[in-house]
Amino acid sequence: MTMPTDKLPTMFDSFGQRLRELRLKKGLTQIELAKGIITPSMISQVESDRARPSYKVLAALASRLEVPLEQLLEGVHLELEIASQYKMALSMVRAREFKAAVPLLDGLLRASQHRIPRSSLTLELARCHLELGNAEEAEKLLNELYQLASAQQDDQLLAVTLLHLGKVGVLALDLPMALFHSERAWDVLQREEAVDPDLQVQTLLQLAKLHEQVGKIAAAVKYYEQALLLNPGDGEKRGTMYLRLAEMYDCLKKYEQAEEYASKAALIFEEHANKQQRFEMQRRLILLQRGSDDWHTSVQQLVSLANQQERDGDVNNAGKIFSDLALLCFEHQAYEEACTFAEQAKGCLTGSDPALGNTYRVLSLGAFHREDATSGREYLDKAVKIFEKHSMVAALETFTIDICQYLNDKGAHQEAFERMERTHKYMITQLAQRGIVL
């Protein structure tokens, strides 16, 4: 729809557009309008909304255009206010002040007196709701954005929208939905010509984490490695990805690849990590070697690390390592040493620390091994509570199998069956909560 030439611009236009239309209506060139006031290039910048003249210059321009200054400035204050609100909202989002940004973005979405793209406002507002854990509000906004992107055939916007819908699925504990949207986002990006590499990497990492969560380790490895090829990222992020790949290759029993990525992670973390990150890296790298024949070396390295943590006054970190040592020794049938390390871990860890799960697990199995069924069952129940509290499904399953095997060997078939059935029901419930129905 074209505006009639005899109609003045309204406050829905920018100041630059208004100045240009008034100049053309008067029949002036940019040079004629600028003469004796400012340079013609400044007039060009003002009309393109890249510059804002002073009040004195505005008064001179209004006089030359033979319009009241008020008419020239109509709506300018509103335009400046809206621009200021938008910049403030974006600054809040970048500073992760999502709660404060929501009312500003919501107000701008409801207003019609600006030229800010609705898609930009909707996406920023949806992101805020996602970060605040408001899955329902985020999904509503993203569905609106999906319709808009589809209608405009905007693949870039469509991919971003689908990626965020995948995050809604994660937030709603609906992993099949999260995977569905994330895979569609990747499909869209692969057909896009001008691909944003950062968006590709974000999508690949989301797919990697989701496949890891549903137990598809080989697929997760593929996505992590694709992400590394596209953009290795900065030191710390790259080191984290290398370490995840090392751990996943270890799960797949591909020890050569695990060692390769572990070595790369170690080099990076030595340069970039802070003290706590360096501790976690050292601990996890040592544990990656626990399946080797030379497991005694891993024990020595872990003991040295635990002693260092105690000297530094970090009792909790020391407790985690003693728990690792207990499990490592038990896996290699060194039962007495395992129980000694477990007792040390128990003395360091407090409350319901996740590391206490494996600590109680070793103490329970050790007690049963010594034919102390009473202590065995006491620690067994404590371990199960920790595993269930922290949704440590894999550890709970492994522990239950070990315990049920022991109970069966002792002829306690009914108790073994009941414990296995309870664990099975718990796992089905956990999977259902994540959107996985067997």
Domains of the chain as residue ranges with CATH = 15-74 (1.10.260.40), 332-438 (no CATH)
pLDDT digits (tens, 9 = 90+) for 93-144: 888 889 988 988 988 888 766 677 888 899 999 999 999 999 999 999 999 9
CA 223 – CA 4 distance, rounded (Å): 56
Average pLDDT score over the chain: 83
CA 11 – CA 115 distance, rounded (Å): 11
Structure tokens at 173: 């504990």
CA 87 – CA 322 distance, rounded (Å): 51
Check residue 378 and give its pLDDT.
92
Asked whether 72 and 61 are in contact (CB, 8 A), the reply is: yes
Which residues, at least 6 apart from 340, have a Cβ–Cβ distance to it below 8 Å?
none
Place of tokens 């611009």: 9
Structure tokens at 370: 């010594």
Q: Counting runs of H as helices and runs of E as strands, what totals does the chain give?
A: 23, 0
Classify residue 330 by burial, with Cβ atoms within 10 Å: 0-12, 13-18, 19+.
buried
CA 343 to chain centre: 36
User: Which amino acid is it at 270?
Assistant: E
Pick from 330, 262, 269, 325: nearest CA to 299: 325
Q: Tell me how far CA of residue 319 lies from CA of 195, 346, 386, in angstroms.
A: 47, 7, 16
Structure tokens at 292: 């080797």
The whole-model pTM stands at 0.61
Q: Digits of tens for pLDDT over the chain (438 positions)?
A: 333 333 333 334 567 888 888 899 999 999 999 999 999 888 888 888 777 777 788 888 888 999 887 777 665 655 666 777 788 888 888 888 899 889 889 888 887 666 778 888 999 999 999 999 999 999 999 999 999 999 988 888 999 999 999 999 988 878 889 999 999 999 999 887 666 888 998 999 999 999 988 878 899 999 999 988 887 666 677 888 888 898 888 888 888 888 888 888 878 777 665 667 677 777 777 777 665 567 888 888 889 888 888 888 889 889 999 999 998 898 888 889 999 999 999 999 988 888 999 999 999 999 988 889 899 889 999 999 998 888 787 788 888 888 888 888 888 888 888 888 888 887 777 766 655 555
